[in-house]
Amino acid sequence: MRKTVERPLRRVLTDCVRLATAAPSLHNSQPWRFGIRGMEVDVYADPGRRLRVLDPTGREQLISVGAALLNLRLAIRRAGYRCDFDLFPEPEQGDLVARVTVGHPARPSPIVTTLAGAIERRHTNRFPFAGAPVPDDVLDELRVAARREGAFLAVAHPAARKAILTMARSADRLLRHHPGYQPELARWTGPGDDGVPPWAAGPADPLATVPLRDFAERAAGPRQRVKFEPNPSILLLATRSDHWPDWVRSGQALQRVLLTATSHYLATMPISQPVEIPDLRRRLLAPSSGLHVQMLLRIGYADPAFATPRRPVADVLLSRAGR
Ligand SMILES: Cc1cc2nc3c(=O)[nH]c(=O)nc-3n(C[C@H](O)[C@H](O)[C@H](O)COP(=O)(O)O)c2cc1C
Q: Is 136-300 the same fold as 2-120?
A: yes
Q: Residue 323 — very low, low, confident or very high, per pLDDT cuts 50/70/90?
A: very low
R_g (Cα) of the chain, nearest Å: 19
Report the alpha-carbon distance of residue 193 to residue 25 in Å, rounded.
13
The per-residue pLDDT of the chain, averaged, comes to: 94
Q: What is the pLDDT of residues 106-154, one digit of tens each?
A: 999 999 999 999 999 999 999 999 989 999 999 999 999 999 999 999 9
- Tell whether the model's pLDDT for residue 321 goes beyond 50: no
Cβ of 26 closer than 6 Å to ligand 1, yes or no, is yes
The CATH code of the domain at 2-120 is: 3.40.109.10
Cβ of 165 closer than 6 Å to ligand 1, yes or no, is no
- Tell whether the model's pLDDT for residue 3 goes beyond 90: no
Q: What is the mean pLDDT of residues 262-274?
A: 98
Which residue's CA is minimally distant from atom 28 of ligand 1?
Answer: 26
Report the alpha-carbon distance of residue 189 to residue 197 in Å, rounded.
6
Give the per-residue pLDDT at 322. 45
Give the per-residue pLDDT at 7. 53
- Tell whether the model's pLDDT for residue 220 goes beyond 80: no
In ligand 1, which atom is closest to the CA atom of 307?
26
Q: How far is it between the farthest Cα atoms of the chain?
A: 65
Please choose, from the candidates 36, 12, 31, the residue with its C-alpha nearest in 3D space to the C-alpha of residue 319: 36
Give the per-residue pLDDT at 222. 74
Give the per-residue pLDDT at 216. 79
Give the per-residue pLDDT at 6. 53
> Which residue among 18, 27, 199 has the greatest number of ligand 1 atoms within 8 angstroms of its CB, and so is best to mutate?
27
Please choose, from the candidates 103, 94, 38, the residue with its C-alpha nearest in 3D space to the C-alpha of residue 65: 94
Q: Residue 74 — very low, low, confident or very high, per pLDDT cuts 50/70/90?
A: very high
Which residue's CA is minimally distant from atom 19 of ligand 1?
Answer: 24
Cβ of 189 closer than 6 Å to ligand 1, yes or no, is no
Q: What is the pLDDT of residues 166-194, one digit of tens each?
A: 999 999 999 999 999 999 999 999 889 99
Long-range contact set of residues 197-203: C-beta below 8 Å, sequence gap at least 24: 197/308, 197/309, 199/306, 200/123, 200/124, 200/126, 200/305, 200/306, 200/308, 201/126, 202/125, 202/126, 202/127, 203/127, 203/128
Q: In one letter, which amino acid is 306?
A: F
The CATH code of the domain at 136-300 is: 3.40.109.10
Give the per-residue pLDDT at 5. 52
Cβ of 55 closer than 6 Å to ligand 1, yes or no, is no
Q: Tell me the residue length of the chain.
A: 323
List CB contacts of 255: < 8 A, sequence separation 6 or more.
Answer: 23, 24, 66, 67, 68, 70, 71
In ligand 1, which atom is closest to the CA atom of 64?
31
Residue ranges of the domains in the chain?
2-120, 136-300
In ligand 1, which atom is closest to the CA atom of 63?
1
Q: What is the pLDDT of residues 9-48, one digit of tens each?
A: 899 999 999 999 999 999 999 999 999 999 999 999 999 9
Q: What is the mean pLDDT of residues 293-300?
A: 98
Q: How far is CA 97 from CA 35, 37, 163, 313, 319, in A?
A: 12, 16, 35, 19, 18
